């Protein structure tokens, strides 16, 4: 019998037998508190992922003094320097160590817990997809790298360069964020830029100041209104999400600041909005007040390129072989798929299980999606690597 004949059936049989193991591993990962700043928990996550990786993979732990350890796992072919398929997952969650949301619970349909869908469920998919291919004797033949970073939820400051380095050695990448509600796969994402707007006025006694006083708060109010007018849905959204300033009601505010989040569809939107922002920021409404805009964090857009569409069609064919229907989704939030996309490497995101309400204490994963999604990932990894 040819090694890959009835591969869908054999992958499904492997996974059906291990549904309980998958949920047990998910429970184990969710019970490791691993907020982005929780180095001890993140180091344990890296250990747990390393321990679960199937045998033919070579493991390398990347240690960072100020971030959780990260894990690079490569098959022999990838280790030997062949162009590889990159599988990306993050071990961190948005929940700090002292969160009250520190349990794992299941009911008939759902699993609940911190990071259960963002993205510990995705990590389970990654491990078991690779394990299935290893079990079937296929993993040694293909060049695959799974990289688990620990800082995605804070903008991937330490892992950004590693993602770029691994992406540059890859012909394609899959990211394990959750799938869409209707079994979608993410073929594109908006980009994001985060800015801090600082306003410097001149402080003084409120009773002595009159019209036209150099209040940083008043200037900031003008700026927020002008900046919010740049909203241009659906291509561009701009949100002044925090404001802060002043020391008391009897004092003219010497300083005020706002934090601004911008989402854009293409690089040209980003450039256009930035130019408009610079103009607004450089034109004070009140004499004697100065504003500065500082870029803090962001990710480039992930456009729905023809190469992403072709990769999606390959995944869609594998879904059909499994009796599944998948659709393509353009998602508004950003992820590490945006970083991969910036290197010109075809990438799909949303390859993890289905669920919702991530970043909230009602976060859940649909248990019934875990096996089908892992089967789809395994088949997609195999076929993508074979046809590369
Ligand atoms: Zn995530």
Domain spanning 7-190+302-387 has what CATH number? 3.40.630.10
User: Taking 50 as the threshold, does the pLDDT of residue 1 lie above it?
Assistant: no
Ligand 1 center from residue 5 Cα (angstroms): 35
Residue 240's SS3 state is strand
Residue 3, pLDDT score: 62
Q: What is the per-residue pLDDT for 2?
A: 54
Task: Give distance in angstroms: CA of 240 to centre of ligand 1.
Answer: 23
Query: Residue 89 C-alpha to ligand 1 middle, in angstroms?
Result: 8
- Cα(193) to ligand 1 centroid in Å equals 17
pLDDT digits (tens, 9 = 90+) for 28-82: 999 999 999 999 999 999 999 999 999 999 999 999 999 999 999 999 999 999 9
Kindly give the distance from the C-alpha atom of residue 334 to the centroid of ligand 1, in angstroms, as a whole number: 9
Q: Could you tell me the pTM of the whole model?
A: 0.90
Cα 335 to averaged position of ligand 1 atoms, centre (Å)? 7
DSSP string, 220-236: HHHHHHHHHTT-BTTTE
Decide: residue 82, CB within 10 A, 0-12 exposed, 13-18 middle, 19+ buried: middle
Q: Are 68 and 150 in contact (CB under 8 A)?
A: yes
Which strands, in side-by-side order, build the sheet including 364-366?
105-106, 110-112, 364-366, 355-356
Burial of 250 (0-12, 13-18, 19+ CB in 10 A): exposed
Measured in angstroms, how far is the CA atom of residue 22 from the centroid of ligand 1?
A: 19
- The alpha carbon of 58 and the centre of ligand 1 are apart by a number of angstroms equal to 25
Provide the residue ranges of all domains of the chain, joining segments of one domain with +: 7-190+302-387, 191-299
What's the distance, CA 386 to chain centroid?
A: 27
**pLDDT tens per residue across span 225-265:** 999 999 999 899 999 999 999 999 999 999 999 999 999 99
> How many angstroms is it from 91 CA to the middle of ligand 1?
9
Contacts of 21 (CB under 8 A, 6+ apart): 128
Q: How far is the CA of 174 from the centre of ligand 1 (A)?
A: 13
- Ligand 1 centre distance from Cα of residue 152 (Å): 7
Interval 345-364 mean pLDDT? 97
- Among 120, 221, 143, 234, residue whose Cα is nearest residue 188: 234
DSSP 277-343: HHHHHTS-SSTT-EEEEEEEEEE--B---HHHHHHHHHHHHHHHHTT---EEEEESS--HHHHHHTT
Q: Are strands 58-62 and 110-112 parallel, antiparallel or unpaired?
A: unpaired
CATH T-level assignment (fold) for domain 191-299: Alpha-Beta Plaits (3.30.70)
In a 3-state reduction of DSSP, which class is residue 135? helix
Peptide bond just before 284 cis, omega within 30 deg: no
- Tell me the CA–centroid distance for residue 365 and ligand 1, in Å: 13
Structure tokens given for 281? 């920021």
Q: Report the separation in Å between the CA atom of 192 and the middle of ligand 1, taken as the mean of its atom positions.
A: 15
94 prior amide bond cis, ω within 30 = no
Which strand (E) or helix (H) includes residue 23? helix 19-30
Ligand 1 centroid–CA 63 distance in Å is 21
- Nearest one of 195, 201, 204 to 217, comparing CA atoms: 201
Residue 19 neighbours by CB distance under 10 Å? 15
Instruction: Report CA(333)–ligand 1 centroid distance (Å).
Output: 10
pLDDT of 100-131, one tens digit each? 999 999 999 999 999 999 999 999 999 999 99
Residue 362 sits at the vertex; the CA angle it makes with 195 and 325, to the nearest 5 degrees, is: 90
């Amino acid at each position: 019998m040819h090694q890959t004949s009835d591969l869908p059936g054999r992958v499904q049989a492997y996974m059906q037998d291990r549904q309980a193991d998958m949920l047990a591993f998910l429970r184990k990962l969710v019970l490791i508190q691993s907020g982005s700043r929780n180095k001890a928990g993140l180091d344990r996550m890296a250990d747990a992922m390393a321990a679960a990786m199937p045998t033919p993979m070579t493991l390398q732990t990347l240690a960072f003094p100020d971030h959780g350890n990260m894990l690079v796992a490569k098959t022999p072919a990838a280790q030997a320097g062949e162009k590889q398929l990159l599988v990306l997952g993050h071990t961190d969650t948005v929940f700090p160590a002292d969160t009250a949301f520190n349990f794992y619970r299941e009911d008939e349909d759902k699993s609940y817990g911190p990071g259960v869908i963002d993205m510990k469920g995705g990590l389970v998919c990654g491990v078991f997809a690779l394990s299935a291919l290893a079990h079937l004797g296929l993993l040694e033949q293909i060049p695959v790298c799974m990289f688990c970073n620990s800082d995605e939820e804070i903008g991937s400051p330490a892992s950004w360069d590693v993602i770029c380095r691994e992406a540059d050695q890859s012909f394609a990448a899959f990211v394990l964020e959750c799938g869409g509600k209707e079994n979608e796969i993410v073929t594109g994402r908006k980009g994001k830029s985060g800015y801090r707007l600082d306003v410097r006025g001149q402080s003084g006694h409120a009773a002595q100041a009159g019209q036209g006083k150099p209040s940083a708060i008043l200037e900031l109010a003008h700026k927020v209104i002008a900046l919010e007018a740049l909203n241009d849905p659906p291509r561009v959204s701009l949100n002044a999400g925090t404001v802060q300033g002043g020391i008391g009601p009897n004092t003219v505010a010497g300083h005020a600041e706002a934090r601004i989040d911008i989402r854009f569809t293409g690089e040209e939107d980003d450039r256009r909005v930035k130019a408009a922002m610079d103009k607004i920021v450089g034109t004070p409404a009140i004499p004697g007040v100065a504003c500065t805009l500082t870029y803090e964090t962001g990710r480039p857009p992930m456009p729905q390129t023809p190469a992403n569409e072709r990769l999606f069609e390959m995944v869609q064919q594998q879904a059909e072989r499994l009796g599944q229907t998948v659709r393509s989704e353009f998602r508004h939030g950003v992820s590490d798929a945006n970083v991969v996309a910036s290197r010109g490497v075809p990438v799909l995101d949303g390859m993890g299980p289905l669920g919702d309400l991530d970043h909230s204490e009602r976060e859940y994963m649909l248990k019934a999606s875990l096996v089908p999604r892992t089967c789809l990932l395994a088949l997609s990894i195999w076929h993508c690597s074979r046809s590369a």
